Amino acid sequence: MAELYSVPKLEDYSPAAMDAAVRDLLNALEQEAAKLSGENDWKAFRDRWMSRKSGVLMQITEWLKLAPKEQKRDVGQRVNEVKAKIEAAVDAAEARVNSQASSARLVSERVDVSLPGNRRPLGVKHPVLRVQDEIVAVFKAMGYSIGEGPEVESDYYNFESLNFPPNHPARDTQDTLFIAGQEKKQQRDRLLMRTHTSPVQIRTMEKQRPPVRIVIPGKVHRNDALDATHSPVFHQVEGLCVDTNITFSDLKGTLDHAFKSLFGSSVKTRFYPSFFPFTEPSADMQVSCIFCGGKGCRTCKFSGWIELLGCGMVDPNVFEFVKGNGYDPAKVSGFAFGMGVERIAILKYGVDEIAKFYLGDVRFLEQFA
* Binding-site residue ranges for Mg(2+): 280
Burial class (CB in 10 A: 0-12, 13-18, 19+), 147: buried
Residue 120 DSSP code: P
CB-based contact 275:301 (threshold 8 Å): no
Task: Single out the residue of 50, 43, 4 nearest to residue 27, CA to CA.
Answer: 4
CB-based contact 88:80 (threshold 8 Å): no
Point out the annotated binding site: 280
Contacts of 216 (CB under 8 A, 6+ apart): 146, 147, 148, 149, 197, 198, 200, 201, 236, 237, 238, 239, 240
Burial 246-262 (b: 16+ CB within 10 A, else e): beeebbbebbbbbbbbb
Residue 295 DSSP code: S
Task: Single out the residue of 135, 10, 141, 165 nearest to residue 78, CA to CA.
Answer: 10
CB-based contact 334:294 (threshold 8 Å): no
CB-based contact 192:181 (threshold 8 Å): no
Burial class (CB in 10 A: 0-12, 13-18, 19+), 200: buried
CB-based contact 236:244 (threshold 8 Å): no
Q: If DSSP codes are grouped into helix, strand and coil, which group holds residue 314?
A: strand
CB-based contact 247:219 (threshold 8 Å): no
Amino acid at 330: A
Task: Give all strands of the β-sheet with 269-276 in edge-to-edge order.
Answer: 145-146, 212-221, 233-243, 333-340, 305-314, 279-288, 269-276
| Pairwise CA distance, residues 170 & 176, whole Å | 7
